[in-house]
Structure 1
Amino acid sequence: MGKALRFATATILSVAVGIYLNNTSLLAPHRDGKPVLLAHRGIAQRFDERDVKNDTCTAARMLPPTHDYLENTLRSMRAGFEAGADIVELDVHPTTDGEFVVFHDWTVDCRTDGQGVTREQSMAKLKMLDIGYGYTADGGKTFPFRGKGIGMMPTLSEVFAAFPDRQLLINVKSRDANEGEKLAAVLTALPAERRRMIMVYGGDEPIDAIRRLTPDVRTTSRAAIRSCLIRYIGYGWTGLVPASCRNAMVLVPINAAPWLWGWPDRFLNRMADANSAVFVLGPYSGGEFSTGIDTSELFARLPRGYSGGIWTNEIAAIATESKN
C-alpha cells in the first residue's frame, strides 16, 4: 500500500510539474514592443454607461463634452490614429443602394434629424442627415453639435480610401447572414495585403459567412468569444488551441485573463502562432460584454511589459499610459 501511494503521489507530482512547465509564462519567449491600441469608434463622445441596452439612445445621455469629435466619422478616425491608435473600430450597415454606411445605431432616430431603420435607407439620403443632431448632455436643454454633422456619415469605401494603409476593425450590427456575404464580397475585392489589415466582428450569422468566404480575415462573434475562452480554459493546459481561437480576434476581459493557461506571454505566443490577435477589455461581470481599458487603474492591471492588444474608449489617455 505504501509503494502504491508513493507511486500515485510521484505520478501526480510529475503531471503537475509537466503542466506547469508547459504553461508557465516564465519560460515563454517575451514579445517586446508596446501594446497594440484599438480605439473603439475612434475618438467619440462618452456617455453614461449605466444600464445601457442595445436600443438605448446614448446620444441623449452624453457626458459633458471635452472635444467636438463625433463617432464613426473620418475626422474622428483620423484623430484616433493621430492620438496613438494602431487600429480604429467602426460600425457598418448595408444600404438600399448597395453601399455600406458607417454608423452605429440600428435606426437614425436617436443621433440624427432623420427617422427609420438605417439599413432601409439609401446612402444618398443618409448623406443628407445631421449626425450631431441628437447629442445632449443636459436632458435636451442644449444640443451642442446640432447642425455641425451634416453630410459627415461616411461610406465604408470612403474609409478604405481615407486610410489605405491603416488597420481597421469592422463591426457588423445585424444577425443577417446575407449581410455577411455582402461584406465578404467587398473584402474579397480588396488586395490580399489590405484584407490582412482588417478584422471583423458582430453577429454569429454574418460572421460565420465572412469566416467561410474570406478565411484570411480575422473575425469574432459573441459565440466565438465564449467558445474560444471556455474551451481554452478547459483544455488549453495541453497546449492545444481551440478552433474558435484560430485566425480570430480574441477578446479577453481583464478579470478573466488570469484564468487563461500561460497568461500572458505563453498565451499570446500560442494565439500568435494560430494567426490570432488578442485584445484585453475591461472587466466582465455578466450580461452585456465588458467595456474597454479606459482608466489608468485598469491599465495598471495589465502585466508588466504587456505587448498584446488593448481595446479602449479613451485612446489619448491610454496611449499616454502605454508610453510610460
Structure 2
Amino acid sequence: MKRLARFFLAPLFLIAVTLLAVALTSQPAERPKVLAGFGDQPLVIAHRGGRGLWPENTLFAFERAAALKVDMLEMDIRRTRDGELVVLHDARVDRTTDGSGEVAGLTLAEVQALDAGYRWTADGGESHPYRGQRIRIPRFAEVLERFPEQPKVVEIKVPDVGMEEQLCALLEEHDQLDRVLVGSFYERSLKRFREVCPGVATSAGPTSVRLLVALNWIGLGRLVSPTYQALQIPERSGGLQVASEDLMQTALQRGLAVQMWTINEQPAMRHLLDMGAKGLITDYPDRALQLLGRSTRITSLNDR
C-alpha cells in the first residue's frame, strides 16, 4: 500500500513543484507604447478602416476613420508580385475591385490601376457610390506616411514570404515601431516578427489564444507569461463561447488588452465592454463611438 501511495504521490508532488515554480517566475506583459496613451478607456478600432461605412483598406477609409477620431486603424497587408507591401484583406482582388486575380500574381502598378471602391455598396447592390472616385489599393508605406501619429493594428496575412522583415524595416524607416500592434493568424509569422522586431507590440496568435483559454478553463490562466501584449478574440468561434468575464479578468491580470472582433451591433458592444473588453474592432466605428458617448462628427479631412 505504501509503495502504491508513493507511486501516485511522487508525480503529484512533481506537478505541484512545477506549478509553484511557474507561479513564482511568471510575469505579466508590459503595456506597450502604442496603447500607453489611452489610459483605461475602451478603444474604438476601425476594422479595415470601417468597412461598413466606406471602401475597406483604402486611404479614403482611413482618412475618414481618423477624422471620426477613432483610436486605432485596423488593416491587412499582403505582397505583390514585385515585392511591395499593399493593404488588402483577401488573397484575390475580385471582391473589392473591378479586377480579378491573386494580388501575389500582380505587380504594384497593376494592383493600383484597379478601382478599390468599385464593389462597395450599402444597399445590397442597388447603388455603388464610390465607383470611379479614384480610390485604389494603397501601399502600406503610403499609410505610414499619411498617418504617422495614428495608432494602427496591422495583420500579416501571408506567412513564410519574408513579410515580417519587410514590415519591420518599413516601421523603422518611418519611425513607427511604437505606433503599431501587429497580429496574424499564423503563429510562426508572429514568432518570426518578434525575433526580427523585438519590442514592437503584438497580439496573441491562434495557438496562444487556445492555450490561454484552456489554461484559464482549468484555473491556471494566471500562470501564463505572455510574449504578446493584446488578446484579440471573437466573442464566439465554431459555436463555442470564447469571451468570458473570467477570461477577461485573467487577461487583465496578465497585463493584456482584450480587443474583440468583429463587433458591429451596439447591444453586443455594451455586453462585451461590461465584461471587461478594452477594445472593439468594428466595421461601424460610428456606432461604437456613439455608444461610448463620443462624437460621431467627421471633424476634418486631409486632401487625397
- Shift in alpha-carbon separation, 1:319–1:151, aligned structure 2, 3 A: closer
State which of 268, 272, 280 in structure 2 corresponds to 1:298. Answer: 268
Match for residue 260 of structure 1? 246
State which of 40, 44, 49 in structure 2 corresponds to 1:37. Answer: 44
Match for residue 280 of structure 1? 260
Could you tell me how far apart the structure 2 residues matched to 1:91 and 1:138 are? 25
Residue 136 of structure 1: CA displacement? 5.3
Matched, 1:229 2:199: no
Matched, 1:212 2:219: no
8 A Cα contact 2:260 2:277, kept in partner: no
Residue 39 of structure 1: CA displacement? 1.2
Matched, 1:101 2:108: no
Aligned length: 251
State which of 196, 199, 220 in structure 1 corresponds to 2:181. Answer: 199
Amino acid at match of 2:242: A
CA displacement 1:26-60 (0-9 Å, x = unmatched):
xxxxx974211211111223xxxxxxxxxxxxxxx
8 A Cα contact 1:177 1:209, kept in partner: no
Matched, 1:91 2:76: yes
8 A Cα contact 1:37 1:85, kept in partner: yes
CA displacement 1:146-174 (0-9 Å, x = unmatched):
322x3522111110111111111112222
The 3-state SS of whatever aligns with 2:244 is helix
8 A Cα contact 1:32 1:307, kept in partner: no
Amino acid at match of 1:186: L
- Identity over the aligned pairs, expressed in percent? 27
Amino acid at match of 2:98: D
The 3-state SS of whatever aligns with 2:45 is strand
CA displacement 1:236-266 (0-9 Å, x = unmatched):
45x3224xx33332124445333635x44x6
CA displacement 1:95-123 (0-9 Å, x = unmatched):
23332111222111232222221022221
Amino acid at match of 1:201: G
Matched, 1:246 2:227: yes
- Matching of residues 1-324 of structure 1 within 5 Å: 33-45=40-52, 69-135=54-120, 143-148=128-133, 150=134, 152-191=136-175, 194-204=176-186, 205-219=188-202, 220-236=204-220, 239-242=222-225, 245-254=226-235, 255-258=241-244, 260=246, 263-264=248-249, 267-268=251-252, 270-272=253-255, 276-281=256-261, 292-302=262-272, 304=274, 306=276, 308-323=278-293
Could you tell me how far apart the structure 2 residues matched to 1:127 and 1:90 are? 17
- Shift in alpha-carbon separation, 1:234–1:187, aligned structure 2, 3 A: farther
Q: Which runs of 5+ in 1 are unaligned?
A: 1-30, 46-66, 282-291
The 3-state SS of whatever aligns with 1:195 is coil
Greater RCO structure (CA 8 Å; 6+ sep): 2
Could you tell me how far apart the structure 2 residues matched to 1:260 and 1:130 are? 45
Match for residue 34 of structure 2? none
Could you tell me how far apart the structure 2 residues matched to 1:230 and 1:84 are? 36
Could you tell me how far apart the structure 2 residues matched to 1:133 and 1:156 are? 20
Q: Which runs of 5+ in 2 are unaligned?
A: 1-37, 236-240, 295-304
Residue 235 of structure 1: CA displacement? 4.4
The 3-state SS of whatever aligns with 1:41 is helix
8 A Cα contact 1:211 1:217, kept in partner: yes
CA displacement 1:166-220 (0-9 Å, x = unmatched):
11111222233523333233334443xx212211122413222112211212223
8 A Cα contact 1:167 1:197, kept in partner: yes
Residue 128 of structure 1: CA displacement? 1.2
TM-score by length of 1: 0.67
8 A Cα contact 2:144 2:174, kept in partner: no
Amino acid at match of 1:224: S
TM-score by length of 2: 0.71
